Amino acid sequence: METIDMQAAFDPEFVARVQAESGQNLALCYQCGNCTAGCPYTFAYDIPVSQMMRLVQMGRREKALRARSLWLCASCESCTTRCPNDIDVARVMDVMRHMARRAGYAPEKAVKSFWDCFLDSMRKHGRVYELGLVADYVARTGRFWTDADLGPRMLLKGKLSLKPHDIQGKDEVRRIFERFAARSGS
Amino acid sequence: MSQALTYAYYPGCSGLGTSREYDLSTRAVCEALGIVLADVPDWSCCGSTPAHTVDHVLSAALAARNLAKVEAMGRDTVVTPCPSCLTNLRTASHRMADDSFRERTNALLDAPCQNAVTAKSVLQIVVEDYGIERLSRKVVRPLAGLRVAAYYGCIMNRPPEVMAFDDHENPMAMDDILSALGADVRPFPLKVECCGASYGVARRDIVARLSGRLLDAAADVGADMVVAACPLCQMNLDLRQEQINSANRTSHRMPVLYYTQLMGLALGIPEERLGLDKLCVSPRKVLRAAAGRAEAAKAQGSGA
């Protein structure tokens, strides 16, 4: 078992930041493990969600923000729903994911690429253009065979549109992203 | 005659593509029930999961652009078939109840959102506003003999403070609808377990495991089909069923229908209007078998 040096890695600013951005009182977590028990993703996580909560309490910024778990949380809300102390655990995970992104950490690159492609697609068209999204994802990740088995079948079923669904207000949507980028940059 | 139920309608991006049949059957069923759906003009994507993984204000703004459009329509309720859209619309409203959050959200928008609109799922309005009793009187082709597992997915009812509908551990809305349609609703213990969500593209192994477990459980309870309410769940379970089978060495041939498609069948709406042909695993065989079982039961009943 890993021994944690509780003095060396404590980053009080990190604790305060997660607390402020998530609006949650992190001290309420007493490690009952209910979140981890109900989390369908524990099998894929490097650090289970209850331990992620403990890492924040201990101010272990680097270890928490570099976790793969942050990129594998689907926000299924089991943890939030079942926390006996009403901590919005999924929101805490989301907030740490925002921080990890800002710090440039993304150990699950394919997952981040997929999300980035999704947002780019909606920024461009106002709505998601699924075929374009997948093409963009393949170009970015080099994963040429991604769902190559599904594409033809979906086309045949009329489930993939060949053309994007551009909306009249797509510039409004683009401006939402631009204002957000400007605000984040300042 | 009471006034028709009328709502602003937000189809969601998948309704234009991967869940075409959900949108088709929702519209057909609402029309048959006399529920009027007025499309939100020029609606945009709600941001889904990717937006809230980046920032909560950005995510709220993408949802709020649509809520503002509903306000401009003069409506106070918007309905959507998609639980992911619903979550984003409701979470945005929930957070915008805080003035400073609403200000930061509106600062990203061309036209501000007053936060005066309530978002509900189509499932919710069918159960709460239309009513199960009234629905059962509209059934012309009961789904007798059909054994179903009602699968709600993870976020239709969670977290309860935000979604404010049904039970968050054991929801019953779809069970009640399907029972009213005459189906044999099996107790399904994984009703609210996650299917693997949008990880099918980047981490297929996750979906194979989680959706695989759902298919196994549905088979275990003796269901002929899974009935879904979420486009992503339906896609994972149906479109990816072969991927799941080959990853898990299983051989499921489990049809996965939207509850609105079954409502449509029971209401006597022609199949082509319900998009049954868009399903990957065809439901024809199990529908025929169920009809056969119902016939046999009837014959036995009248013979006795």
Do B214 and B249 have their domain in common? yes
- In terms of domains, do B192 and B295 share one? yes
Chain-chain contact of A98 with B53 (C-beta, under 8 angstroms) = yes
Residue B244 DSSP label: H
In the listed set B123, B155, B186, which residue is the last one of a domain according to the structure?
Answer: B123
Residue B40 sits in the same domain as residue B93 = yes
Q: Are B232 and B197 in contact (CB under 8 A)?
A: yes
B133 interfaces chain A, CB cutoff of 8 Å:
no
Is the confidence at residue B105, as pLDDT, over 70? yes
Q: Is B130 within the bounds of a domain?
A: no
Using an 8 Å CB-CB cutoff, list chain B residues near A146. 201
Domain CATH for B44:
1.20.1050.140
Q: Which tens digit of pLDDT belongs to each residue from B27-56?
A: 999 999 999 999 999 999 999 999 999 999
Q: What is the mean pLDDT of residues A118-134?
A: 95
B119 located within any domain: yes
Q: Which two tokens stand for residue B27?
A: 């519209």
Helix (H) or strand (E) holding B286: helix B284-303
- Within a domain: residue B270? yes
**Mean pLDDT score across all residues of chain A:** 94
Whichever domain contains B242, its CATH number is 3.40.50.11810
Question: Quick check: A98 and B243 CB within 8 A?
Answer: no
With respect to residue B72, please indicate whether it lies within any of the assigned structural domains. Answer: yes
Among B123, B151, B179, the domain boundary falls at: B123
Residues B118 and B144 in one domain: no
Q: Which of residues 86-145 of A touch B (CB under 8 A)?
A: 88, 90, 94-95, 97-98, 101, 108, 110-111, 113-116, 118-119, 122, 126-128, 130, 134, 137
A180 touches B: beta carbon within 8 Å: yes
pLDDT at B209 over 70: yes
Residues of A in contact with B201 (CB under 8 A): 110, 114, 134, 137, 146-147
State the Cα–Cα distance between residues B296 and B304, nearest whole angstrom.
12
Whether residue B293 sits in one domain with residue B145: yes
Please say if the pLDDT value at position A6 is more than 90. no
Q: Which of B13, B234, B278 is best to mutate for the A interface (most A CBs within 10 A)?
A: B13
Structure confidence at residue B2 (pLDDT): 61
Q: With 60 as the cut, is the pLDDT of residue A37 above it?
A: yes
pLDDT 10s digits, B154-203? 999 999 999 999 999 999 999 999 999 999 999 999 999 999 999 999 99
Give tens-digit pLDDT for B128-160.
999 999 999 999 999 999 999 999 999 999 999
ipTM, two decimals, is 0.95
Mean pLDDT to the nearest integer, B273-297: 96
Token pair belonging to B249: 């060495």
* Residues A89-109: tens digit of each pLDDT: 999 999 999 999 999 999 999
For residues B172 and B115, membership in a common domain is answered with: no
Q: Are residues B81 and B180 in the same domain?
A: no
Question: Got the DSSP string for A45-106?
Answer: -SS-HHHHHHHHHTT-HHHHHT-THHHH-----HHHHH-TT---HHHHHHHHHHHHHHTT--
Q: What is the pLDDT, as a whole number, of residue A184?
A: 87
Shortest CB distance from A127 goes to which of B45, B154, B159?
Answer: B45
> Residue B81's closest CA among B159, B7, B172, B189?
B7
Closest in B52, B61, B159 to A81, CB measured = B159
- Pair (B291, B144) in one structural domain: yes
Whole-prediction pTM: 0.96
B133: burial class by Cβ within 10 Å (0-12, 13-18, 19+)?
exposed
Identify the pLDDT of residue A4: 63
Q: For chain B, what is the domain count?
A: 2
Q: Taking CB atoms and an 8 Å cutoff, what residues of chain A touch B202?
A: 108, 110-111, 113-114
pLDDT band with cut points at 50, 70 and 90 for residue B24: very high
User: How high is the pLDDT of residue B288?
Assistant: 97
Is a pLDDT exceeding 80 seen at residue A1? no
Using CA atoms, how far apart are residues A78 and A40, in angstroms rounded to an integer? Answer: 8
pLDDT at A185: 75
pLDDT of residue B3: 74
Encode pLDDT of A139-181 as tens digits: 999 999 889 999 888 998 989 888 998 999 999 999 999 999 9
Which residue, among B202, B209, B206, B211, has the nearest Cα to B230 in the 3D structure?
B211
Distance from CA of A58 to the nearest CA of B (A): 23
Query: Residue A48: left (phi > 0), alpha (psi -120 to 50), or beta?
Result: beta
Choose, out of B54, B205, B240, the residue to mutate when testing the contact with A (most A CBs < 10 Å): B54
Under the banding of pLDDT at 50, 70 and 90, the label for residue A7 is: low
Residue numbers of the domain that contains B13: 6-123
Indicate if B246 and B153 belong to the same structural domain: yes
B153 shares a domain with B94: no
Whole-angstrom Cα distance, residue A75 to residue A73? 6
Residue B109 and residue B159 share a domain: no
* Residues A180, B61: C-beta atoms closer than 8 Å: yes
Last residue of a domain, one of B123, B150, B167: B123
Whether the CB of B49 is below 8 Å from some CB of chain A: the reply is yes
Q: Say what the pLDDT of residue B99 is.
A: 97
pLDDT at residue A162, rounded to an integer:
87
Residue B301's pLDDT band, with cuts at 50, 70 and 90, is: confident
Nearest Cα to A119, choosing from B133, B120, B53?
Answer: B53
In a domain, B191, yes or no: yes
Residue B17 maps to a domain: yes
Quick one: average pLDDT of B240-261? Answer: 98
Taking CB atoms and an 8 Å limit, are A41 and B242 in contact across chains? no
B249 Ramachandran zone, left/alpha/beta (phi>0; psi -120 to 50): left
Whether B304 shows a pLDDT value over 60: the answer reads no
pLDDT mean over B62-75: 98
Three-class secondary structure of residue A1 per DSSP: coil
Give A-chain residues touching B160 at CB under 8 angstroms: 81
Q: Is the CB of residue B278 less than 8 Å away from at least one CB of chain A? A: yes
- Chain A CB contacts of B243 under 8 Å are 149-150
Please report the pLDDT score of residue A127 as a whole number. 97
Q: Is the domain of B145 the same as that of B221? A: yes
What percentage of residues in chain B have a pLDDT greater than 70? Answer: 99
3-state secondary structure of B228: strand
Average pLDDT estimate for B66-78: 98
